[in-house]
Amino acid sequence: MPLHLLLIFLGGGIGSALRYLVSGWMQRAARGPFETFPLGTLSVNVIGCLLIGLLAAMFSEPRIVREETRSLLLIGILGGFTTFSTFGYETIRLIEDRQWSWAIANIAITNLACLVAVWIMWRAGRSIS
């Protein structure tokens, strides 16, 4: 297995474990009306978008890190950490449970917050590098 692929594989495992821990912690912290809202997944996706916006901008020009490091962090760890597949599943579950307001809120908040997060951190990363 080439080093590049091995780093992505290892990073994906690290990112997935981090996603499980952070998402679970955030979901357990949710109380009251937020108990049925997928706050854990929303949190992980926003955090992941903040990080990918920052790192992608910082790594874009000039090349300050090796390609293997970029792959480990951006494709492996962050790819394993963020998960819109879970977002889709949880949104469908909300719809199936006839929790239409939470489903619409999940779609709107997740997409808007993640796009804004990437944009903010892209700008921050560009100004840092």
Q: Kindly list the averaged pLDDT for each block of 10 residues, start to end, along the chain of length 129.
A: 92 97 94 89 93 88 82 92 87 95 97 96 92
Buried b (16+ CB within 10 A) or exposed e, 24-35: eebbeeeeeeee
Q: Which two tokens stand for residue 80?
A: 């394993």
